[in-house]
């Protein structure tokens, strides 16, 4: 079965952000272990069982099982690459300059918001975790308490003031 060629999209050629927390790296290692020791052998056994049924050209279950096994192998390669190239985010040295790993409290329009700055693979804006390469995260890096930053959006310019760094 041939995989269809798809023209690379805008984000497909971007390098993956290697910044990970120790907890995320451990989570990836556990997922890799699970894929290698449980999921892949189970999928390979299913392919082996379906191959014994005969004609490969009309054996849809076999084709689907092979596709699942290819997906599992691709996931293993992706996670191994991510682990091998990971840069663990160290505990921030000082709390007077914003660095990756800090929780920053900012105020805008009289409202305080807290953001934890991490790598892009761990972001969750709904929980207040932003990437160091996001517009806000990048603008905050290197700033001190009391500094103001401006972020331009499509419609307006928003001013933020750093209140606290943890």
> Which residues does residue 150 pair with via DSSP β-bridges, in sequence order?
159
Res 2: pLDDT: 59
Instruction: Give me the pLDDT at residue 52, please.
Output: 85
Closest CA to 132 of 94, 165, 99, 90: 99
> What value does the mean pLDDT of the chain take?
86
Query: In the structure, what pLDDT confidence band is assigned to residue 152 with cuts at 50, 70 and 90?
Result: confident
**What pLDDT sits at residue 76?**
93
Does 72 score more than 90 pLDDT? yes
**The two structure tokens encoding residue 14:** 């971007």
Q: To the nearest 10°, the Cα dihedral for 28, 34, 40, 41?
A: 160
Portion of the chain with pLDDT greater than 90, in percent: 36
Query: What six digits make up the tokens of 6?
Result: 């798809």
In order of 46, 119, 135, 162, 166, the CA distances from 152 in angstroms are: 53, 22, 9, 17, 26
Residue with tokens 């989570």: 27
Cβ-based neighbour number of residue 155 at 10 Å: 6
User: 9 or 104: which carries more pLDDT confidence?
Assistant: 104
| Model confidence band, residue 68 (pLDDT cutoffs 50, 70, 90) | very high
For residue 164, the number of C-alpha atoms closer than 13 Å in the C-beta half-sphere is 8
Q: What is the pLDDT of residues 107-145, one digit of tens each?
A: 988 899 999 999 888 888 899 999 988 888 989 998 898
Return the pLDDT at 20. 87
For 47-62, what is each residue's pLDDT tens digit? Answer: 999 888 877 777 888 8
Identify the pLDDT of residue 92: 74
Report the first-to-last Cα separation within the chain, whole angstroms: 53
Taken in order of first residue, the domains within the chain and their CATH numbers are 19-88 (1.10.287.180), 103-165 (3.10.50.30)
């Amino acid at each position: 079965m041939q995989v269809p060629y798809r023209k690379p999209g805008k984000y497909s050629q971007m390098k993956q952000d290697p910044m990970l927390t120790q907890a995320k790296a451990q989570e990836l290692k556990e997922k890799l272990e699970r894929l290698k020791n449980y999921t892949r052998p189970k999928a390979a056994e299913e392919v082996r069982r379906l191959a014994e049924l005969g004609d490969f050209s009309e054996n849809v279950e076999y084709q689907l099982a092979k596709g699942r096994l290819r997906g599992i192998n691709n996931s293993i390669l992706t996670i191994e690459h991510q682990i091998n190239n990971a840069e663990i985010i160290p505990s921030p040295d000082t709390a007077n300059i914003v660095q990756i790993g800090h929780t920053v409290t900012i105020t805008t329009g009289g409202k305080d918001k807290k953001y934890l700055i991490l790598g892009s693979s761990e972001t969750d804006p709904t929980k207040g975790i932003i990437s160091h390469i996001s517009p806000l995260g990048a603008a905050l890096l290197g700033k001190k308490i009391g500094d103001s930053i401006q972020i331009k959006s499509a419609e307006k310019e928003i001013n933020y003031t750093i209140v606290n760094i943890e």
